[in-house]
Chains A and B, each alone.
Chain A
């Protein structure tokens, strides 16, 4: 079930809101209802993968309790390892086994050793990368004694399965929700509802009226990757960067809005990333819940930036390599992660040497260009396609013919992309907009949402659903 579908907006959401607020006097019943609704939401896609979600939830709930209860350090480590192995094992089997075997077979064929390993075609359970990371942060934080485990299984199932963040984040940590789950909001206030409606509407508008409108143009550019010139190559890179930003930040806004409507507060996931003045700043603004997850649970434990320049660069490359792999089991994601690792490492070295430009405008422009170029690798179905687009961006395929420009770069797309470029550089993001609770503001938001809903006839899934 997609957030941008009629069945979600006009059937599932009203039913869940009615049930959740209708049961506000009975906490256990409320949590059970919300967990059940979230599982139903998950099972709508494919009920056969529901046991995987419930299994991972159960293991981490028990592991969390036992880690907290155990006095022996070795026992605590063993329990943590069990929890991590379960989550990483689920990810490894469903997400990476096919890629791993396929790559080994490819190497075998290249070395004329044949392809002896079986080729696995396992369907990737939706949202697996997100809920396993939610769960891992829970047991790690308990192990580090940063959070007390919950004794209420319903609180935990609600934390992991809460449908607004279940499929594509933000990656919410237990520390974010623990107090909110313990003391549930008793009733829906008009302020909470207004915020929820506002975020939900912003998300719908971003996804349906912007990202989905860019999609056909961008898709056409990438399918014609072998025929792109300088202008169309850059259009492919910039167009996709904008599409991805509005798609994913739209999803995050919707998730935040839905959480508000249920009385929960989620953390911010995007903070105007295209206003970043360097690559490090970009990662503090883009998919913030994932960046901070990797920072806290991987980069810092590896030594962070405290062990000299060389080690910092290595830590950054390793962290970004795994962040790339987290996005998908394909070489394009691996390379994309490594490229960002190198960008971050180079930036750390250059900054230390005082060789970074001083002009904020130049810094912003440079950051935007390298981020767009890297997103080409992220978007491309193969490294060959990425090579074609990147070489056209370097002008190696020459300029575009007039007919080519007309076919691949229609005026509507060009104007839309130009307007969006101005928007992402000038306008405040959803979190910065101060909502004025006036009737005509509500009407404006309502009309924009209705127009967005009218474009749903064939809903497009969110890009991050594939991860």
Chain B
């Protein structure tokens, strides 16, 4: 074979290799971008966290904020007591509270509810029934309040008017919707809504309380209380913080903006809310106290500061021995069931300085 022929063969082989390398790169770039684009499109369409506002299917997060706004909208008479807070407060039965106080009540506690939700429900109920003064029970945890507005609250037009400066869909949301977590949520919604029935198994009475049938479908309904407590204890041990860290967490700018607004609004109307610190499972509380419970100390300091500016009553229910709770009446390590909630409500009414009577 001549030198020229060898050179030509080499050159052909080289260009063939280069072409296959280019195909590799093309395949890489094409599939990489296609997967990301498909994931983003899927998540935006399903919109599991209600960030894009497409509204094609219900969100992955429980739509209880909108449900409870609906229920308040359809109430014929304004409730005399409004129950606010997170999933711990959802177990509170307005009918039982009526038996204890003789006053009508509505349960506006929602999953993951914090100060923005409470603020919206207080203002919405006040606008719906403007002539009525009201009592409030707000179930909350250590740390008291979050200033973060959950997208599912911000997406509801009835809530949005009480939430100034809530931004629209932005670059940060693109990042969220490229994540595996959001994709899992989308798939959950997709599976539920497209492949099966698209309705929640958690239902509410007109007074905002959970129907009996709903109780076993609650996300906090643990299969094994013992395992749930063990996991929570491991979490407590894993996240040991100092008092300084706990104070720093409470000093995050904007954290108490909605709480301040809500308390100011209530006090302006001559209303005094009852702030209830949610119970902790006895062994979890013991583990926290063994570490000095920095979050509790920082929270009490914050409440003392707020007490100088606002009027409210604090009922600390963290230790269930105070309200004669039992260890077996817990749904999981952080949620009491209905039986314990009744005991807790008795204690709250008795310790609320007559505010609820």
A residues lining the B interface (CB < 8 Å)? 6, 189-191, 193-194, 197, 201, 219-220, 223-224, 227, 403-404, 406-408, 435-447, 449-451, 453-457
Take A403-B226, A407-B227, A439-B23 as given contacts and tell me if A449 and B32 are in contact as well, using a CB distance cutoff of 8 Å. Answer: yes
Q: Is the CB of A408 within 8 A of B238?
A: no
With a cutoff of 8 Å between Cβ atoms, the chain B residues found around residue A438 in the complex are 20, 23-24, 27
Q: Which residue of B lies closest to A449 (CB)?
A: B32
A to B CB contacts below 8 Å, 27 in the list: A190-B25, A191-B18, A193-B21, A193-B25, A201-B28, A223-B239, A227-B237, A404-B230, A407-B227, A407-B230, A407-B233, A407-B234, A439-B27, A441-B27, A442-B23, A442-B25, A443-B30, A443-B31, A445-B28, A450-B31, A450-B39, A453-B32, A454-B179, A455-B180, A457-B175, A457-B178, A457-B181
Q: Is the CB of B25 within 8 A of A454?
A: no
Q: Which residue of B lies closest to A193 (CB)?
A: B25
Binary interface encoding of chain B residues 15-53 relative to chain A, with 1 for a CB under 8 A from any of its CBs, else 0: 001101111111111111101100100000000000000
Q: Is the CB of A451 within 8 A of B238?
A: no
| Residue in B17, B21, B26, B30 with the greatest tally of chain A CB atoms within 10 Å | B21
With a cutoff of 8 Å between Cβ atoms, the chain A residues found around residue B35 in the complex are 446-447, 450-451
A457 to B24 alpha-carbon distance, docked (Å): 28
A332 → B minimal CB distance (Å): 19
With a cutoff of 8 Å between Cβ atoms, the chain B residues found around residue A194 in the complex are 21, 24-25
Q: Which residue of A lies closest to B18 (CB)?
A: A190
With a cutoff of 8 Å between Cβ atoms, the chain B residues found around residue A219 in the complex are 238
Pairs A-B, 3 closest by C-beta atoms: A442-B27, A446-B31, A450-B35
A449 to B17 alpha-carbon distance, docked (Å): 24
Q: Is the CB of A454 within 8 A of B178?
A: yes
Interface residue total, chain B, C-beta cutoff 8 A: 36
A401 → B minimal CB distance (Å): 9
Q: Which of B38-96 contact A (CB under 8 A)?
A: 39
Q: Is the interface of A mostly helix, strand, loop or mixed?
A: helix
Q: Which of A407, A442, A444, A457 contacts B179 (CB 8 A)?
A: A457
Binary interface encoding of chain B residues 198-233 relative to chain A, with 1 for a CB under 8 A from any of its CBs, else 0: 000000000000000000000000000011001101
10 new A-B contacts, CB < 8 A, other than A220-B238, A408-B234, A451-B180, are A190-B21, A193-B25, A223-B238, A223-B240, A224-B234, A439-B24, A442-B26, A446-B30, A450-B35, A451-B35
Q: Is B352 in the interface zone, CB < 8 Å from A?
A: no
Q: Which of A193, A223, A457 contacts B237 (CB 8 A)?
A: A223
A404 to B227 alpha-carbon distance, docked (Å): 9
Q: Is the CB of A454 within 8 A of B234?
A: no
A440 to B23 alpha-carbon distance, docked (Å): 9
Take A193-B21, A439-B24, A456-B179 as given contacts and tell me if A446 and B234 are in contact as well, using a CB distance cutoff of 8 Å. Answer: no
Q: Is the CB of A437 within 8 A of B17?
A: yes
Q: Is the CB of A403 within 8 A of B21?
A: no
Q: Is the CB of A454 within 8 A of B23?
A: no
Q: Which residue of B lies closest to A223 (CB)?
A: B238
Q: Is B146 in the interface zone, CB < 8 Å from A?
A: no
With a cutoff of 8 Å between Cβ atoms, the chain B residues found around residue A227 in the complex are 237
A253 → B minimal CB distance (Å): 16
Q: Is the CB of B21 within 8 A of A447?
A: no
Q: Is B183 in the interface zone, CB < 8 Å from A?
A: yes
Q: Is the interface of B mostly helix, strand, loop or mixed?
A: helix
With a cutoff of 8 Å between Cβ atoms, the chain B residues found around residue A444 in the complex are 31
A190 to B24 alpha-carbon distance, docked (Å): 9
Q: Is the CB of B176 within 8 A of A457?
A: yes
A438 to B17 alpha-carbon distance, docked (Å): 10
Take A407-B231, A453-B36, A454-B179 as given contacts and tell me if A191 and B21 are in contact as well, using a CB distance cutoff of 8 Å. Answer: yes
With a cutoff of 8 Å between Cβ atoms, the chain A residues found around residue B183 in the complex are 454
| Residue in A201, A436, A450 with the greatest tally of chain B CB atoms within 10 Å | A450
A446 to B37 alpha-carbon distance, docked (Å): 13
Q: Which of A224, A437, A456 contacts B21 (CB 8 A)?
A: A437
Q: Is the CB of A447 within 8 A of B181?
A: no
Take A190-B21, A223-B237, A441-B27 as given contacts and tell me if A450 and B179 are in contact as well, using a CB distance cutoff of 8 Å. Answer: no
A454 to B33 alpha-carbon distance, docked (Å): 12
Take A191-B21, A446-B35 as given contacts and tell me if A220 and B30 are in contact as well, using a CB distance cutoff of 8 Å. Answer: no
Q: Is the CB of A437 within 8 A of B20?
A: yes
Q: Which of B22, B175, B176, B237 contacts A224 (CB 8 A)?
A: B237
Q: Which residue of A lies closest to B235 (CB)?
A: A220
With a cutoff of 8 Å between Cβ atoms, the chain A residues found around residue B28 in the complex are 197, 201, 442-443, 445-446, 449
With a cutoff of 8 Å between Cβ atoms, the chain A residues found around residue B21 in the complex are 189-191, 193-194, 437
Q: Is the CB of B23 within 8 A of A406?
A: no
With a cutoff of 8 Å between Cβ atoms, the chain A residues found around residue B180 in the complex are 451, 454-455, 457
A12 → B minimal CB distance (Å): 16
A421 → B minimal CB distance (Å): 24
Q: Which residue of A lies closest to B37 (CB)?
A: A450
With a cutoff of 8 Å between Cβ atoms, the chain A residues found around residue B179 in the complex are 454-457
A189 to B239 alpha-carbon distance, docked (Å): 50
With a cutoff of 8 Å between Cβ atoms, the chain B residues found around residue A224 in the complex are 234, 237-238
Q: Which of B128-149 contact A (CB under 8 A)?
A: none
Q: Is the CB of A403 within 8 A of B24?
A: no
With a cutoff of 8 Å between Cβ atoms, the chain A residues found around residue B36 in the complex are 450, 453-454
A258 → B minimal CB distance (Å): 15
B259 → A minimal CB distance (Å): 27
Q: Which residue of A lies closest to B14 (CB)?
A: A191
With a cutoff of 8 Å between Cβ atoms, the chain B residues found around residue A456 in the complex are 175, 178-179
Q: Which of B18, B27, B178 contacts A443 (CB 8 A)?
A: B27
Q: Which of B154-195 contact A (CB under 8 A)?
A: 175-176, 178-181, 183
Q: Which residue of B lies closest to A410 (CB)?
A: B231
Q: Which residue of B lies closest to A450 (CB)?
A: B35
With a cutoff of 8 Å between Cβ atoms, the chain B residues found around residue A450 in the complex are 31-32, 35-36, 39
A438 to B24 alpha-carbon distance, docked (Å): 5
With a cutoff of 8 Å between Cβ atoms, the chain B residues found around residue A454 in the complex are 36, 39, 178-180, 183
